[in-house]
Structure 1
Amino acid sequence: MKRVLAVAAVMAVISVFGKAERPNMVWLVSEDNSADWLRLYNPNGAPMPNVEKLARHGLVFNQAFSCAPVCSVARSTIISGCYAPRLGVQYHRNEKPVPMPENLKMFPWYLRQAGYYTSNNAKEDYNFLPSEKKGVWDESSGKASYRKRAAGQPFFHVQNYYITHEGQLHFKDLTQKTETDPAQVKLYPYHPDTETFRYTYARYLDNHRKLDEQMGGFIQMLEDDGLLDDTFIFYYGDHGGVLPRGKGYVYNNGLHVPMVVYVPKNWTHLVPAARGSRIGGFVQFVDLSATVLNLAGVKIPEEIDGRPFLGEGVTLAELNARDTAFGYADRFDEKYDLVRTVRKGDFKYMRNYQPFNFDGLYNFYRYKMLAYKEWRELYLAGELNPLQSRFFEPRPAECLYDLSKDPDELYNLAGDPKYHSKLAELRSLLQGQVKSMPDLSFIPESQFLKEGSGNPVQYGQEHLQEIAELVDIADLSLRPFPEIRESLRAALESSNPWKRYWGLVVCSSFGTQALECTEKAVALAASDPEGLVRVRAAEFLGLTGGGDPVPVIMQALRETEDPVEVNLMLNTVVLLQDAKGVEFKLAEFADASWAQDEKLQSGRRMEYLLGSGKSF
């Protein structure tokens, strides 16, 4: 009844005044493409005349960022308006969906309550419980259309495009002719200059041309329906990518996205700059929900983390003063990592919490791409230069990049005394961010799912102090080893298993500098009551040569039936196998339920480790 009355109220306004009380909004969302791939942002990018036309009649955001470099995490951030690690939705793909925070709905729900027709065609990919979608969309399907609304009813419609998705580059050979000349593409300096890479670039640029044609058809439909004067059209990529080192990684190419907003003539008063302007202030995906609600004149829930960048109350001066963006990368399918970034102005700080866990660690879906396979093969053959090899080697615990001079993030300034104050500033900013949320990734995923998946936000608040202490232990790796001996010893001897866990991660981060911890690591590997702690101890021993990790990890695998815990352990197995040549004979686990089910991430890992999925 409430919904019917809301629509009736809107229809009454339309009948009296002859036009909608509120603007319409459309999102055109492409998959897996960073700003670099569009001529609008980069002279080497694809010409996209329909997007460029939107830009001439709207706003171009020069600094728009996904908070995560992969779809389910990015889209969970967008639909909630909250940072994913605060809500427990930071893992791709989710092993177990979780509820939305208490007193918060997916944001289109609020639009529906205000009389909007909401439609999504068709990708959702949220890491929340399916029940959380109740009342959010009038329709979410491959047939969803704004045209199904009541006459004159304002609408919010999302149209998704797959043509630029990573899967479109899973071709088997290089025979299909491209419109883009492979010889003319400009390669990133971290990629090898090969026929495969040049062809892959050309195919991807071609896909952008096709994307523009597809979106042009939709824009024409809006024009034919007489809606352009009352409809904001947002075009953005759902995160960066998709060539190797893009999607899945929090480098600039994984987070910096194109974002163009067409401004309708009847609603120019809701934007802070003239049509045709380029905006330099930073906007993030966490801000999108607040922006749409603000444009619609709907109250923004206090529980969300984002803030509007268009609509009433937003000034150009304040918008252009925004200069900070936060990024996160965790598990991507079966491959674990934990990386956080903060960018402030031209400087980007990257914190690799497991620096020994190199970027190119095997991932089933990623290595379907011929370019990925070839890159790895060239590395193993010793045919890459140092910049190209870095993807397959351990990383620094922290990096600092000046993107005004180094947009490809090649030269780490963290060790340069000239940038000491900037490093300290951004390090502190990131530490404050992960502690204040708090960041649930500092509790291993399997443990979080056991204890906190019923109410992640409440769980985070209950463990706020503990997580802050875990962050402090993890950050011991940022100081000289002699300075942290006593603090590290205290962590390794703590009664809290996750302090021991992070203490061992710090040991592995220091590598052979921490060999004096070998005796303690051997003891923890042999007798710690927590299997994940034993495996982290074995990982340190395997990486440094301080002991044989195989018996410890094999026994830990025998003792657990939790597939999420298993997958975290198998990440260590793959690391030790591929980085150090440690041999594991895993045939005894071939018939385990967690190894047989390909829907489980542990199944994917076992497929690779047993050989059937191994491509190099």
Structure 2
Amino acid sequence: MKFLKLLMLLLCIQQFAFAQKKPNILWITYEDTSPQFIGCYGNKDAKTPVLDKLAAEGIRFTNAFSTGTVCSPSRSTLITGVRTFEMGTGNHRSNYKIPDFIHGFPYYMQKAGYYTTNNSKTDYNVANPKEFIKQAWDESSGKAGWWNRKPGQPFFAVFNYMDSHQSRTMTFPYPKYISSVINELPEADRIGENDFAMPPFYKDSPEMRKQFARVYNSIKLTDNKIGELLQKLKDDNLLDSTIVFCFADHGEGMPRGKTNGIDYGYRVPFIAWFPSMYKNLSPWKTGGIVTDELIDFEDLAPSMLALAGADVPKYMEGRVLIGAKRAKPVDHLILSSDRSDNGVDMVRSVTNGNLIYSRNYYPFINEARYINYMEIGDIKKQMRKDFAEGKLNPLQKSLFEDRPTEFLFDLSKDVWETRNLVNDIAYATALQKMRKQLDDKLKASKDIMFLPEYELAQISKTTSPYLYRLDNPKYPFDKIYAAASLAGKRGAPIVKQQIGLLSNDNKIVRYWAALGLRSQPFNLLQPYKKQILANLNDNYPPAQSTLCAVAYAAFKDTQAESNLKKLIKSDNELLALMTINYLIYTPNREVFLSTIQGLLSNKKLAYNVQSAGRDFLRSLDIHIDESESSE
């Protein structure tokens, strides 16, 4: 009996030592928030005492970035440690196949002895999500937390807060916002409609202030709930053994932020907090430290594995931020933004923290582009109303106009990104450097998102986009990228090159040639009308859809019109979505109205195609029933 008691005592000591050696790790994620609206990032109008205290005791990162600008692509990188443009997960809720050897990183933490829980958002943008989630988490549910682990077992726990999501800040009907946000706040916590400064690209009016106050109150509610979680951690006597990481999933959910490939969409508030027991693990020290080290979501998975003492898989190419294998800081990051819901887009960006450069491949689609879930929001309706009535200043109006091919903003002088410096000679050297950094990275990665989504879906039937991009004969990236690099650039010499590429033997090259022509001034296409019309029946559907959209927009061609009407009704959801998106931004589009209306009568219509159809009607100022919405 004495021997057994001694043995049990030794086992308890061993478990205690194990728990002390391996820290508990808590991730607190919240939705749709930019640093500009958090107190510790300099906003004196915000009420975020919990986040401010966490930063005052920990480390505040001023240059932390999501690798995407909408939730599911961002979470894809968070959970796998692989960039979306390498995995094929850049398009919102696309759920394409990933390789069998890639797991959610908590899977490896389990093997290192951790109890892993997620409470409770997943939205990882991968195929077979149930199996993927089952492998990654010991428990993933609204009841999950550290409380069901074995005695002495270290935990990795994620808690996600929806209270600052754009549903609360803009798309819920106002009465629902009142019940879900305002009524949840004590009166002293509420922020009034005149108690903050408006970002300059929104009209400063009572109507807009009423809507924008939702951002501040939703973040305040989030801050309160984070405080409650940290108090529970303390009540469970775990605060002194838990490292906390607290950050948003991407930038602000209001118009021009979320879904847009600029700093306002990418940059996130990010705070790390180390208890005294584990202060030695922080390479930044602790206690109100502010660091300008560049980090992004690709870095988090390998860093958590390093903290847990687990091996980092070779496919994770992000930096290890913590521990003996900490990688050297970098001088720039590559970021990306693709389709969000029914709104197509493609932007690739480079940032060094102070400057951000963005390359727009669909510049004919503006920053305030139609996305059904955003259009139902009162603030977006107000912005469109003010635009139609001529009440916006040039900056505010620019959100509804064609984008330039490139953006370059100096955040050190222009935090709201109001002055595009692409043509400023003082920034010419920096611009050239960032262009090269982008080219080098995309070529090295063989960015798989340069394939139209129609093609990604076809590939996923037999393999994964991740593996496909590594097969040179199947995916000649340099050849495709040469054509894609012309897209968005304007001018007669570029048009001539794109016309020549319409007869290329590579179908993806032809698609990019057509897409590039859509951004050209239509008068530059007139000399090439014969060549364009001769290719309207291209045997590759995405190329056909794109070129027909060009031919109808530039020439009102009847054959293009006929083809487009057939493509709108395609059984292939992605082909129909592509075609409708082109038409939303096409002049003289009224001729497609009856076809779109007929399409919307189909109750089995895919959600994104239905949403694009509704946006087409909105683009013609046709009233529609907006009772249907989704988070």
- TM-score of the two chains, using structure 1 as the length reference: 0.91
1:122 and 2:123 correspond: no
Structure 1 counterpart SS, 2:592:
coil
Name the amino acid aligned to 1:118.
Answer: T
Report what 1:108 is aligned to.
Answer: 106
Cα deviation code 1:233-276 (max 9, x no counterpart): 11101111122111111221211111111101111111112212
CA-atom RMSD in angstroms: 2.5
Q: Secondary structure at the match of 2:40?
A: coil
Q: Which residue of 2 aligns with 1:66?
A: 66
Pick from 514, 520, 525 the counterpart of residue 531 of structure 2: 520
* Aligned residue number for residue 592 of structure 2: 585
Identity of aligned residues (%): 29
Q: What's the counterpart of residue 338 of structure 2? A: 330
Shift in Å, 1:282? 0.7
Of the three residues 283, 289, 303, the one matched with 1:291 is 303
**CA spacing shift, 1:508–1:247, aligned 2, 3 Å:** same
Which residue of structure 1 lines up, in the alignment, with residue 510 of structure 2? 500
In 2, are the aligned partners of 1:115 and 1:154 still within 8 Å (CA)? yes
CA distance in 2, matches of 1:589, 1:554: 9
Task: After TM superposition, list the pairs within 5 Å mapping 1:73-222 onto structure 2.
Answer: 73-94=73-94, 97-128=95-126, 129-130=128-129, 131-169=131-169, 170-173=171-174, 179-222=190-233
The corresponding residue for 2:610 is: 603
Contact 1:120–1:144 under 8 Å retained in 2: yes
SS in structure 2 opposite 1:583? helix
- Hey, what does 1:3 align to over in structure 2? none
**What is the Cα deviation at residue 605 of structure 1?**
1.9
Which of residues 434, 452, 458 in structure 2 aligns to 1:426?
A: 434
Q: Shift of the alpha carbon at 1:477?
A: 4.6
* Greater displacement, 177-186 / 474-483: 474-483
Counterpart residue number, 1:27: 27
Mean alpha-carbon deviation: is it higher for 338-347 or for 43-52? 43-52
User: For residue 417 of structure 1, what is the amino acid of its counterpart?
Assistant: I
CA gap 1:16/1:43 in 2 versus in 1, 3 angstroms: closer
Amino acid at match of 1:279: T
Alignment of 1:182-581 (within 5 A): 182-276=193-287, 277-314=289-326, 318-319=328-329, 322-452=330-460, 454-463=463-472, 466-477=476-487, 481-484=491-494, 487-512=497-522, 513-525=524-536, 527-545=537-555, 547=557, 549-558=560-569, 560-576=570-586, 580-581=587-588
For residues 15 and 84 of structure 1, the distance between their equivalents in structure 2, rounded to whole angstroms, comes to: 39
**CA spacing shift, 1:516–1:426, aligned 2, 3 Å:** farther
Equivalents in 2 of 1:251, 1:24: separation in Å?
A: 35
Cα separation, partners in 2 of 1:396 and 1:16, compared to 1, 3 Å: closer
SS state at 1:555 partner: helix
**Partner SS state of residue 365, structure 1:** helix
Rounded to whole Å, the distance in 1 between the matches of 2:325 and 2:346 is 37
- Counterpart CA distance in 1 for 2:49 and 2:502 is 59
Distance in 1 (CA, whole Å) between partners of 2:556 and 2:422 is 29
Q: Does structure 2 conserve the Cα–Cα contact (< 8 Å) formed by 1:80 and 1:100?
A: no
Instruction: Please give the per-residue CA displacement for 1:342-388, whole angstroms capped at 9, x wherever unaligned.
Output: 11242211110011122222211011211111101111222211111
**AA at the equivalent of 1:392:** F
Match of 1:5 in 2: none
Q: Is the 8 A contact 1:492 1:504 kept in 2?
A: yes
CA distance in 2, matches of 1:597, 1:58: 51
Question: Bigger shift: 118-127 or 539-548?
Answer: 539-548
| 1:424 shift after superposition | 1.5
Relative to 1, partners in 2 of residues 1:16 and 1:562: Cα closer, same or farther, differing over 3 Å? closer
For 2:549, what is the secondary structure of its paired residue? Answer: helix
Q: CA deviation at 1:35?
A: 0.9
Pick closer, same or farther for the CA change 1:435–1:386 going to 2, 3 Å. same
SS of alignment partner, residue 420 of structure 1: helix
Inter-partner Cα distance in structure 1 for 2:515 and 2:13: 61
Name whichever of 453-462 and 64-73 sits farther off: 453-462
User: How many Å apart are 1:519 and its aligned residue?
Assistant: 2.1
Q: Is the 8 A contact 2:55 2:272 kept in 1?
A: yes
Q: Summarize the Cα distance change of 1:171–1:194 in structure 2 as closer, same or farther, 3 Å threshold.
A: farther
Paired AA for residue 288 in structure 1: L
1:531 positional shift: 2.8
Structure 2 residue matching 1:326: 3-state secondary structure? strand
Q: Which amino acid in the other structure matches residue 132 of structure 1?
A: F
Whether 1:38 aligns to 2:8 is: no
1: CA distance between counterparts of 2:497 and 2:331? 35
- Alpha-carbon distance change, 479 to 56 in structure 1, aligned in 2, over 3 angstroms: closer
Instruction: Give CA deviations for 1:50-109 in whole Å, capped at 9, x if unaligned.
Output: 112212221111111011111111001100001012111111122xx2333343211000
Once the 2 structures are TM-superposed, how far is the Cα of residue 171 of structure 1 from its aligned partner?
4.2
1:525-575 alpha-carbon deviations (Å, 9 max, x no partner): 2x32223222212222344346455323113335x3111111111111212
State how far apart, in whole Å, the 2-side matches of 1:281 and 1:607 are: 43
CA distance in structure 1 between the partners assigned to 2:109 and 2:55 by the alignment: 26
How much has 1:487 moved relative to structure 2?
Answer: 3.3
Post-superposition Cα deviations, 1:113-171, rounded to whole Å, max 9, x if no partner, equal 11100000000101112222232111000010101101111000001111101111334
Mapped partners of 2:98, 2:377: distance in 1: 35
Contact 2:567/2:575 (8 A) holds in 1? no
Shift of 1:485: 5.5
Task: For residue 286 of structure 1, give the secondary structure of its aligned residue in structure 2.
Answer: helix
Aligned partners of 2:323, 2:165: CA distance in 1, in Å? 31
User: How far 1:408 moved relative to its partner?
Assistant: 1.5
Q: Is the 8 A contact 1:595 1:602 kept in 2?
A: no
Q: Which moved more, 1:24-33 or 1:427-436?
A: 427-436
Aligned equivalents of 1:189 and 1:614: distance in 2?
Answer: 32
Q: Is the partner of 1:184 in helix, strand or coil?
A: coil
Q: 1:151-197 CA deviation, whole Å, 9 max, x = no partner?
A: 11100000111110111133434895782122232111111112222
Q: Structure 2 vs 1, CA of residues 18 and 283 (structure 1 numbering), >3 Å: closer, same or farther?
A: closer
Q: What TM-score do you get using the length of structure 2 for normalisation?
A: 0.89
Change (3 A) 1:144 1:19: closer
Query: Alignment partner of 1:226: what SS?
Result: coil
Question: Given the superposition, is the C-alpha separation of residues 15 and 335 from structure 1 closer, same or farther in structure 2, using an over 3 Å criterion?
Answer: closer
Q: Which moved more, 1:25-34 or 1:543-552?
A: 543-552
Query: Within 2, Cα distance between the matches of 1:435 and 1:543?
Result: 32
For 1:281-314, what per-residue CA distance to the aligned partner results, in whole angstroms no more than 9, with x for missing partners?
A: 1110111111111111211111112112223333
Question: What letter is aligned with 1:343?
Answer: T
1:57 corresponds to 2:57: yes
